[in-house]
Structure 1
């Protein structure tokens, strides 16, 4: 059948034999195409990497053959590596000819325009092509073999389907937040892997609240945040993931170190101490660093420049400053030093921190409350 089309916005020079007119979402331009090849009874058997011409629709395109399996008389899976991207769709029928003599080799049915480079006789890839050839995809079996989760849209694209979240049987778990699916057996294995990983981490790092969320996502979820789908087994807090049953526990020696650190810093009041001085005090006890990092992670210790102090004294310094500025509207470095009964150097460390956090604003030799 034939029709005439009045097309605007395109010049005659831009049109050529073989062009397709379609919705932009309907046809795929592809350079690697998976086909099933049916040899003409009297046709020669093409060799791997044979250069060919593909006649499909009204177009003629050039490329080469890559065998995906050993040649079979009835039908063989080929991959066509084209010289340029061409417009093809699932189940399109084409003809393969030799490039040099134009001899007819046989017919080629497009199984998928979304071919990916793969080695010959890749059993998983060939199984996928058999699904496409026979149109009898067992989604449960496919996902079980795949192992990891897959997006529903990707599955539809790969197999020319139109499945949704309600299309799957009881063997398949649906991640509704990202519209992805995984076989429940693989989901069970995934949970076990995460459980073993976290358990090992907790044994080696008993004072750390857990593994960074980004690490878990990259290791187990292709970079996607899916941990909330496993709230029965794992917990996520402050961007750290741990086992549901895990709690930070300090040993007797670690508790002693913790109490001693807090007493030391309490005696220093607003002055704080450097890490080096604290470390020297504990004679570089191997547990000191872990306990110290635990206290900073928990927010009990605040870092100001090169000094560490108790969170309570930092908050008290803020309160004193706030009360002073309510009455006086501005404060000098010397006045703030006297307010905390500390050194000029330490008072400046506080004020620079407040400036950075937009609590105060420096004007000439004094500071005012920053209302931004």
Structure 2
């Protein structure tokens, strides 16, 4: 069943609250001051059932200009608006301002309700109708039905209910499968229950016992109980007026404007990219660094504006801008907001959030404007790609993308899969890199190797760990391995024995080096295992001999540790014989190994410890087994 929120709008004393009382039998003015003064100050909430059996949540907003911030808090989530105009007064200033607000918030359906119709004649009613039609031209409500009512005599109420029921059939389905999010408009406590928050659930669903987070304080809470329209329920869905009883938090730790959401599903912003439109009738333009008020959800925040494609956004026009906020905002791409001037506080426009995690932009940057157009109108995969493009020095996780886009995990995975198949995104374990980020790491790797080969012509390559630290020390070993494996696959590099080299690189000896090579190989073979040779034995601290020895490691010479070297063929033969022995006998002692290789205890221990370090064997007390 669709969930419908009905809201009121209109000038003070035009009969909004009286109309709701006539429809529901309940008075939404609950404050003592409201009853004394006869005006609504805070938001009023109630509900009623339509003939089609749908239960409609109602938000009754105050009409006085001094309480416009309360009206803005209540307008969040309205599906159908009742634009209330008193037949004896016609369109008034707050009527127009409320219309602007609803228009910018994206409300699409409404009914124009002429109240107090028993106080005037039919001719006057027709004049008021003409005035309303003139004032609503170009707005979402310009072709809305006009219903004449009188809340005291109950004239026209049945027709109004019928119209509401008809409109409720065409309400768009809410995003129930998105992570839950609700802007809080009331916070209070009840004895025996504790902290309770209310609001209209913007998207997703909340269940009893869910673990949620209050933003921007990031306090973790648990849902103890849920009520929808005064009834206890196990779950609440997007589009419902919802009261949530929370544990693990006190009333003083939450305020109107906070957001309760699924943990990790939203990002906190101090800067947002937006598309702004300004109303014409206020004659108010916005220049660089003007201070304004932004109303988003149930929160009001002061900010500074930075127009991006012009020096100034003129009244009656639209433009891209960056808002530098004075406190944290919790928002998602596509959220709508209202702008009011700093002083005097007039509603001057509104807009749509395009990016909640931008970098600082400069004016007239065409690449920024193009990127904003893609984010504003593009598919989810385009938005993901742009986000990754803007974070070329960061390693983005799936959780980051969920928080940024506010979309469900499975949709983001679909977008990533498409981008990976199009070679626009590269996956490194749990991280996602734009292909240009991967190319930057790849080019840096090749550049480091090229310089290394030039400096050390006889070395087969650089150690993987040294290469990783030079490319990007923020990369973990397992992440660098993914990048290197991709480069090996593309025949750009070679990896052998933990050494990395450019694909085409080969060690080439000149005549002198070939002579030294032969001397070293003979020296290593000469002693076999009777006495292990050291670098000093082989090279006698001659740097030319040391360079050639380094080049032979892994080919004809095996390095056991920082001190000893053996012939490579002999080493491989010993290793294979040991593996065959352990497969048959399961374990071996140092003495048994010494007898097999026909050497001494010192040499045997040096070789076995090398095997231990390289995970060929594992030491258990005084024995070795296969690793």
Shorter chain as denominator, the TM-score bin is 0.5 to 0.7
String of CA shifts for 1:171-225, please: whole Å, max 9, x gaps.
x425675576648xx99999888767656655554433345556379749x9442
Distance 2:605 2:420 in 1: 63
1:369 and 2:606 aligned: no
Q: CA deviation at 1:308?
A: 3.7
Q: 1:259 aligns with which of 518, 522, 538?
A: 518
Are the counterparts in 1 of residues 463 and 500 from structure 2 also a CA contact under 8 Å?
yes
1:38–1:75 CA contact under 8 A, matched in 2? yes
Q: Does 1:272 align with 2:522?
A: no
Q: 1:289 aligns with which of 541, 546, 552?
A: 546
Greater Cα radius of gyration, structure 1 or 2: 2
- Residue 60, structure 1, aligned to residue 300, structure 2: yes
Kindly indicate whether the alpha-carbon contact (under 8 Å) linking 1:304 and 1:349 is maintained by their aligned counterparts in 2: no
1:102 equivalenced with 2:345 (yes/no): yes
TM-score (norm 1): 0.67
Give the Å deviation of 1:58: 2.8
| Separation in 2, partners of 1:263, 1:296 | 14
Partner Cα separation in structure 2 for residue 124 and residue 275 of structure 1: 58
Gaps of 5+ in 1: 363-367
Cα distance in 2, alignment partners of residues 173 and 331 from structure 1: 54
- What is the 5 A alignment of 1:190-229? 202=453, 205-213=456-464, 215=467, 219=471, 223=475, 224=479, 225-229=482-486
Q: Report the more deviating stretch, 188-197 or 18-27.
A: 188-197
Which stretch of the first structure deviates more once superposed, 121-130 or 253-262?
121-130
Q: Does 1:71 align with 2:325?
A: no
- Is 1:38 aligned to 2:277, yes or no? yes
Tell me how far apart the structure 2 counterparts of residues 269 and 133 of structure 1 sit (CA, whole Å): 72
Matches within 5 A, 1:91-170: 91-135=334-378, 157=404, 164=415, 167=418
TM-score (norm 2): 0.43
Distance 1:315-1:211 versus aligned 2 partners, 3 A rule: closer
Residues 30 and 139 of structure 1: is their aligned pair in 2 closer, same or farther, counting only changes over 3 Å?
closer
Structure 2 alignment gaps of length 5 or more: 7-56, 58-228, 230-241
Q: CA deviation at 1:113?
A: 1.6
**How far apart are the structure 1 equivalents of 2:483 and 2:599?**
50
Q: In the alignment, what sits opposite 2:188?
A: none
Q: What is the CA distance between 1:7 and its match in structure 2?
A: 1.7
Q: 1: CA distance between counterparts of 2:441 and 2:607?
A: 45
Deviations 1:96-130 (A, max 9, x none): 23445424443232112222234444432222112
Counterparts in 2 of 1:24 and 1:341: CA distance versus 1, 3 Å: closer
1:354/1:181 Cα in 2 relative to 1: closer, same or farther (>3 Å)? closer
Report the Cα offset of residue 290 of structure 1.
2.0
Task: Name the CA shift for 1:272/1:241 in 2 (closer, same or farther; >3 Å).
Answer: closer
SS of alignment partner, residue 226 of structure 1: helix
Aligned-pair CA distance for 1:52: 2.8
Deviations 1:260-308 (A, max 9, x none): 012223334443344334333xx8353x222111223447233456444
Specify the SS of the correspondent of 2:244.
Answer: coil
Q: 1:9 aligns with which of 223, 236, 246?
A: 246
Equivalent residue of 2:320, what SS?
strand
Residues 507 and 551, structure 2, Cα contact 8 Å, conserved in 1: no
Q: CA RMSD in A?
A: 5.1
Structure 1 226/159 Cα, relative in aligned 2: closer, same or farther at 3 Å?
A: farther
CA distance in 2, matches of 1:311, 1:250: 19
Check the 8 A contact 1:152/1:164 in 2, yes or no. no
Contact 2:332–2:406 (Cα < 8 Å) also in 1:
no
CA contact (8 A) 2:338 2:351 kept: yes
Is 1:300 the counterpart of 2:551? The answer is no
Match of 1:365 in 2: none
Report the CA distance shift for 1:241/1:348 in structure 2 as closer, same or farther (over 3 A). closer
SS in 2 for 1:258: helix
- Judged with a 3 Å threshold, the aligned counterparts in structure 2 of structure 1 residues 84 and 136 are, in CA distance, closer, same or farther, namely same
Residue 133 and residue 316 in structure 1: after superposition, are their counterparts in 2 closer, same or farther (change >3 A)?
closer
- Work out the CA distance in 1 between the residues paired with 2:333 and 2:382: 19
Aligned positions, number: 346
The reply on whether 1:88 has 2:346 as its aligned counterpart is no
